[in-house]
Amino acid sequence: MKGQPGPSGIDATHHVLVVGAGPAGLMAAETARRAGASVTVCEQMASPARKFLIAGKGGLNLTHSEDVEAFVGRYREAAHRVRTWLAAFGPADLRQWASDLGYPTVIGSSGRVFPHDYKAGPLLRAWLRRLRHEGVRFHFQWRWCGWHDSGALAFATPAGEERIRADAVILALGGMSWAKLGSDGRWLPLLAARGIALAPFAPSNCGFECAWSAHLVERHAGSPLKSVRLALAGDPDPGPKGECVVTAHGLEGSAIYAISPRLRAAIAREGRAELRIDLAPDRSSETLVAALAKPRGKRTLGEHLRRVTGLDRLKLSLLHECMPRASLGDPDSCAAAIKSLPVSLTATRPIDEAISCAGGVRLDELDDGLQLRRLPGVWCAGEMIDWEAPTGGYLLTACFASGFVAGRAAART
């Protein structure tokens, strides 16, 4: 594995082994190779970055254009650590990286940043071509099985067990969401056996369950709930205005993903979370009361509510679902319900349905370069580390940044 010429033409006598070929692993490989190391990447799936490709199906949201402090704040409890990753490789660096591959970025109306063609496949193919051209070697369908007694890493492959020795190892093994794409968490006992402290995995950017009536499910399952603002009851910091989707099981979509950590924590703490939905975030309670107090004449209550509030059929159905009919006939009570409709959430949807997850290797197990303190010579990157972020480009940015930090440190050791 040694003696491969590095990018500068010198012999690369330092061998870095990267386990996992998602964005974090590929960025770690690229960074280590450009620092002069010989790099091998092993991936248990038949092809690289499958979750990255699926995430890009609706338009690859690479990062976000908001200011640095707001950006860093998206990482909540992990913000102090993620800040150092972003200082090394931040949103501007990621945009330049994509441009260097031939895919300059554009900023959407929401501030999200995309490759100019909005696609993941061409960008990934260009990246892989560059990595191979620079000398990075790949093994696919190689599943990591832990360490052999000799100290080499052991892999189950189509040809049987293979072992690789390396000067530095970077683990970029993913979390536990979308197991069919490779993030199956089978690595957890391998690190636990080495004494690494792990936080239990939990779904993030996920759907939540509530007990809708059969009538609501039959009429509205799959319907978008547009232009709403969601908040955990009693939380002074509601999420941004957005939309979500009513499902047969409950609610999912971007607006609920934005507050999923708070909802998940409330369910773990109390067995349920009371969601409050502002069905008319652009109207004040006072204007709604005045509109609802207008005589309804011969109109039905439902028709009156539709006409004076402008709410669509789904929002009106939710009012009837969650509030007593008598309260809807009272202007003050009805306006209060429109501005803060209570919906009881009882559970998260299964972690394998989640876009991402919280949990994994605890941050205090890692030094500033993301090396495991208990396992010198082994680094971690990406979603296998215990941090979480909302959708909007924040997940991918931190995965790339952590890969950069780990790859740079591993190549220098």
Q: What is the DSSP string of 164-205?
A: E--SEEEE----SSSGGGT---TTHHHHHTTT--EEEEEEES
- Rounded CA separation 187/28 (Å): 19
Residue 6 reports pLDDT greater than 50 = no
Q: What is the mean pLDDT of residues 26-31?
A: 98
Q: Are residues 95 and 227 in the same domain?
A: no
Instruction: Kindly report, residue by residue over 48-65, the tens digit of the pLDDT.
Output: 999 999 988 889 999 999
Name the band, by pLDDT with cuts 50, 70 and 90, for residue 301.
confident
pTM of the model: 0.92
Q: Tell me, what amino acid is at 143?
A: R
Could you list the residue range(s) of the whole structural domain that residue 60 is in?
4-203+357-412
- Rounded CA separation 223/157 (Å): 44
Q: Are residues 269 and 321 in the same domain?
A: yes
- Rounded CA separation 280/284 (Å): 8
Q: What is the mean pLDDT of residues 377-386?
A: 98
CB neighbours of residue 84 within 10 Å: 13
Nearest of 134, 163, 191 to residue 380 by alpha carbon: 191
Instruction: Kindly report, residue by residue over 188-207, the tens digit of the pLDDT.
Output: 999 999 999 999 999 999 99
Q: 3: which strand partners?
A: none
Q: Tell me, what amino acid is at 100?
A: D
Q: Are residues 39 and 84 in the same domain?
A: yes
Domains contained in the chain, number: 2
Q: Are residues 300 and 319 in the same domain?
A: yes
Name the band, by pLDDT with cuts 50, 70 and 90, for residue 12.
low
The mean pLDDT value of the chain amounts to: 94
Q: Are residues 54 and 197 in the same domain?
A: yes
Q: Where is average pLDDT lowest: 139-143, 233-237, 390-394?
A: 233-237
Q: Write down the pLDDT at residue 369.
A: 98
Q: Are residues 187 and 268 in the same domain?
A: no
- Rounded CA separation 5/153 (Å): 23
Q: 344: which strand partners?
A: 274
Q: What are the φ/ψ torsions at residue 43 (nearest 5 degrees)?
A: -135, 135
Q: Where does a domain end: 348, 369, 402?
A: 348
Q: Where does a domain end: 315, 348, 381?
A: 348
Q: Are residues 266 and 367 in the same domain?
A: no
Which letter does DSSP use for residue 413 in this model?
-
Q: What is the mean pLDDT of residues 117-144?
A: 98
DSSP H or E stretch at residue 146? strand 143-147
Q: What are the φ/ψ torsions at residue 122 (nearest 5 degrees)?
A: -60, -40
Instruction: Kindly report, residue by residue over 96-122, the tens digit of the pLDDT.
Output: 999 999 999 999 999 999 999 999 999
CATH code of 186's domain: 3.50.50.60
326 burial class (0-12, 13-18, 19+ CB within 10 angstroms)? exposed
Q: Write down the pLDDT at residue 251.
A: 98
Instruction: Kindly report, residue by residue over 331-380, the tens digit of the pLDDT.
Output: 999 999 999 999 999 999 999 999 999 999 999 999 999 999 999 999 99
Q: Are residues 290 and 361 in the same domain?
A: no
Q: Where does a domain end: 348, 376, 398?
A: 348
